[in-house]
Amino acid sequence: MKNNAPEIPPKHQSNSLHLSVLLLAIFIALYVIAARATDVESAPRASKPLLPVLPPRVAAAALEALGRTLFFDNNLSASHKMSCASCHDPLHAYGPANAKSVQLGGADLQQQGTRAAPSLRYLQNVPAFTEHYYDEDFDESVDNGPTGGRTWDGRAPTAHDQAGIPLLSPFEMANTDIADVVATLQHANYAQEFRRIFGSTIFNDPQSAFKAASLAFEVFQQNAAEFYPYSSKYDAVLRGQSKLSAAEQRGLELFNDEQKGNCAHCHPSRIGSNGAFPAFSDFGYIAIGVPRNRELPANTDVNFHDLGLCGPYRRDLSDHADYCGAFRTPTLRNVALKQAFFHNGFFHTLEDVMNFYNERDIHPEKFYPRAGDGSIEAFDDLPAQYHENINVEPPFDRGLGATPPLSQDEIKEIIAFMKTLTDGYHP
């Protein structure tokens, strides 16, 4: 939360030692309690571990290869025509290959949810979801409010929790239940390999078999060459192996300039204090007031709102009115390969995205519809009581009719810079 979030109080800085000692004490106490609880309660359940215990000699390579096979297996969907790769295409940095705002799925491949499919690249450093990210070193590359987690609202803690969502979503791969997925696995031509890796009895317990598959998906998504190659022109520049053109260089400066784009405020562009190449996301949750996408079937219901962090897909934070409308800041790596932008895929070109950043509050009539009385319905996808959550930092810091922070030439330069973030650059 950049907007209304208070600065981290100074006491956090001076008392960080006390805090660590306190945390350590709490941790030890919890550990002792947990150890006792395990003694008393879970002995009878010891035969059912949370994740299947892998036979010791299984190589990560075998698990990864299985995960790759699963990722491209159309039979894992109710339609038998859709795999993970249908929405996460390797030729498009594991994002969608088409310009649809939201991909079609379901048993008949005609169902549509409400969210744009993200690229699966560069997720390896997304921290687990937390409401209060706090780093002793104040690493600027991570936001200090709600942060991290998988999906636009962070409801999946890890990639293996994530894999369960599309497999069972009626808008996506649309399997009826876990048993349905496991039946497919059991009859697949790789079932023998599955047993070899996870044990001959793995299919006896659908829960364990489903978790085993999730683990394979996760391990596949940890393949560095596929999922975080750092092979863009900008990476080459950071390594001193290439140079930005004059326009790209001006674009980078405008991207970083707090009075101009201020993009790096949320999409950091510099090598982090720990030496990591920039993720172009601080993983924070921000409401920027993306217009309602009236083409989505769910939005024909005027009472339906995708409010991100506060629901409807996650329910644990629904009492946090100040989180409504906030979505996780996406990476901008490979963004030029996309053809639908923001959580609901409302915009289809980077030019339109840039005009929105540049003129959202200056010329709202360019982005939002008019009500019956002729007034502009600004932030039309967010009920009025949440409008105060909308971010008003630069470039969103100007009122009606003001001069926009960026000229059209400057917009072109920022776009030229964003195009240097596409992987697979060959000098």
> 208 or 339: whose CB is closer to ligand HEC?
339
Strands 327-328 and 285-286: antiparallel
- How many residues bind ligand HEC (CB under 6 A)? The answer is 50
Instruction: With beta carbons less than 8 A apart as the criterion, state whether 277 and 236 touch.
Output: no
Q: Does 267 help bind ligand HEC (rule: CB under 6 A)?
A: yes
Q: What angle do CA 226, 228, 231 make, to 5 degrees?
A: 90
Choices 202-210, 271-279, 324-332, 370-378; region in contact with ligand HEC by CB under 6 A: 324-332
Please pick, from the candidates 78, 93, 173, 197, the single residue that binds ligand HEC as defined by CB under 6 A.
Answer: 173
Instruction: With beta carbons less than 8 A apart as the criterion, state whether 170 and 111 touch.
Output: yes
Q: Fill in the per-residue mask, 113 to 132: x = in contact with ligand HEC (CB under 6 A), - = not in contact.
A: --x-xx-x--x---------
Give 63: exposed, middle or buried? Use CB within 10 Å, 0-12, 13-18, 19+: buried
Choices 36-44, 161-169, 367-375, 380-388; region in contact with ligand HEC by CB under 6 A: 161-169
Q: What DSSP designation does 44 have?
A: G
Q: What is the DSSP string of 112-140?
A: E-SSPPPP-TT-TTPPPPBSS---TT--T
Q: Does 234 help bind ligand HEC (rule: CB under 6 A)?
A: no
Q: Fill in the per-residue mask, 26 to 55: x = in contact with ligand HEC (CB under 6 A), - = not in contact.
A: ------------------------------
Choices 34-42, 167-175, 180-188, 360-368; region in contact with ligand HEC by CB under 6 A: 167-175
- Closest separation in Å from C-beta 267 to ligand HEC: 5
d(CA 297, CA 55): 47
Choices 10-18, 234-242, 259-267, 271-279; region in contact with ligand HEC by CB under 6 A: 259-267
For residues 351-380, which are near ligand HEC according to CB under 6 A?
A: 353, 357
Q: Does 159 help bind ligand HEC (rule: CB under 6 A)?
A: yes
Tokens representing residue 100 in the block:
């649809």
d(CA 337, CA 289): 23
- Closest separation in Å from C-beta 320 to ligand HEC: 16
Q: Does 1 help bind ligand HEC (rule: CB under 6 A)?
A: no
- Closest separation in Å from C-beta 159 to ligand HEC: 5
Query: Helix or strand or coil: residue 12?
Result: helix
Asked whether the bond before 229 is cis by omega within 30 degrees of 0, the reply is no
Please pick, from the candidates 122, 129, 210, 217, the single residue that binds ligand HEC as defined by CB under 6 A.
Answer: 217
d(CA 256, CA 132): 25
Please pick, from the candidates 141, 208, 293, 391, the single residue that binds ligand HEC as defined by CB under 6 A.
Answer: 391
d(CA 156, CA 331): 17
Q: Does 330 help bind ligand HEC (rule: CB under 6 A)?
A: yes
Instruction: Give the type of residue at 300.
Output: T
Q: What is the DSSP string of 192-256?
A: HHHHHHH-TTGGGSHHHHHHHHHHHHHHHTT-HHHH----SHHHHHHTTS----HHHHHHHHHHH
Residues sharing a CB contact under 8 Å with residue 178, sequence separation 6 or more, in sequence order: 168, 206, 207, 210
Q: Fill in the per-residue mask, 290 to 319: x = in contact with ligand HEC (CB under 6 A), - = not in contact.
A: x----------------------x------
**Would you say how long the chain is, in residues?**
427
> 197 or 332: whose CB is closer to ligand HEC?
332
Please pick, from the candidates 144, 262, 339, 389, the single residue that binds ligand HEC as defined by CB under 6 A.
Answer: 262
- Closest separation in Å from C-beta 213 to ligand HEC: 8
Q: Does 215 help bind ligand HEC (rule: CB under 6 A)?
A: no
> 202 or 296: whose CB is closer to ligand HEC?
296
> 203 or 265: whose CB is closer to ligand HEC?
265
Instruction: With beta carbons less than 8 A apart as the criterion, state whether 105 and 165 touch.
Output: no
Please pick, from the candidates 145, 148, 166, 251, the single residue that binds ligand HEC as defined by CB under 6 A.
Answer: 166
Half-sphere exposure of 232 (CA within 13 A, CB side): 27
Please pick, from the candidates 52, 63, 73, 86, the single residue that binds ligand HEC as defined by CB under 6 A.
Answer: 86
Instruction: Name the strand (E) or helix (H) holding 182.
Output: helix 178-186
Binding footprint of ligand HEC on the chain (CB under 6 A):
2, 82, 84, 86-88, 103, 105, 115, 117-118, 120, 123, 150-153, 159, 162-163, 166-167, 172-173, 217, 261-263, 265-267, 286, 288, 290, 313, 327, 329-330, 332, 335, 338, 341-343, 353, 357, 391, 393, 395, 414
